[in-house]
């Protein structure tokens, strides 16, 4: 799995922290890692973006971004309003493929959900994943409403001939409600893809040292970690099954 594309079911679901956890876990397993942010929005020229945040939390990764637009909008809209050249899926694929010749693992983080547009022609992260023939990991929220968005995302992936690598819960609450607890069983069922991890809420506020030590415990062996989905379900939601 030299290239893994990471998308969310929407915005603010924990993609960047999950990307950092995957990077930190791969580094701990002795792999070299690059992180590519396809299009960074809502960040000024001298401010750190998502790729830099991944590097801060995870450690010695190669951090890169292809385009940056100041307003917190969809990349195509942000590029148009700023009068800047948008990023195109083939550019994302070419950059990721080049990084893959130099690293064991390349993580390509999208902006928002799978079908957020990069350019006026309607290019998306899904198009970049198709060009790369790369699996796509879906980051989903824990609670009410996540089942529909997650199923729609994985159905869209399959309709394009793409493989949903699995689901990671981007922010598992300290006191999960009934919906979140039930979703531990329902998410992999509706997605038709395994649950590959759960990142505790607030993990992005940990010190880098604490984050790197904890990250492998949040992710399944398929992502180089030690997290066990069944054991997590039994511990967090024994009454929900």
Compute the chain's Rg from CA coordinates: 17
Selecting among 5, 7, 20, 37, the annotated active-site residue is 37
Verify whether residue 98 is a known catalytic residue. Answer: no
Q: Which residues are catalytic?
A: 37
């Amino acid at each position: 799995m030299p290239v893994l594309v990471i998308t969310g079911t929407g915005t603010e679901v924990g993609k960047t922290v999950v990307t950092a956890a995957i990077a930190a876990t791969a580094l701990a397993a002795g792999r070299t890692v690059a992180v590519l942010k396809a299009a960074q929005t809502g960040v000024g020229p001298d401010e750190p973006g998502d790729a830099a945040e991944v590097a801060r939390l995870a450690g010695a990764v190669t951090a890169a971004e292809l385009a940056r637009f100041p307003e917190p909008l969809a990349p195509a809209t942000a590029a148009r309003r700023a009068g800047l050249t948008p990023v195109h899926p083939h550019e994302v694929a070419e950059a990721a493929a080049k990084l893959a010749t130099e690293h064991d693992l390349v993580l390509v983080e999208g902006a928002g959900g799978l079908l957020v547009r990069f350019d006026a022609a309607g290019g998306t992260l899904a198009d970049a994943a198709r060009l790369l023939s790369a699996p796509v990991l879906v980051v989903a929220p824990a609670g009410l409403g996540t089942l529909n968005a997650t199923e729609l995302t994985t159905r869209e992936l399959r309709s394009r001939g793409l493989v949903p690598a699995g689901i990671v819960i981007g922010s598992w609450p300290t006191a999960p409600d009934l919906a979140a607890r039930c979703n531990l069983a329902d998410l992999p069922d509706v997605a038709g893809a395994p649950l590959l991890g759960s990142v505790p809420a607030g993990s992005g506020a940990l010190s880098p040292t604490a984050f790197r030590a904890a990250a492998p415990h949040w992710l399944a062996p398929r992502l180089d970690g030690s997290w066990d989905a069944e054991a997590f379900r039994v511990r967090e939601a024994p009454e929900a099954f």
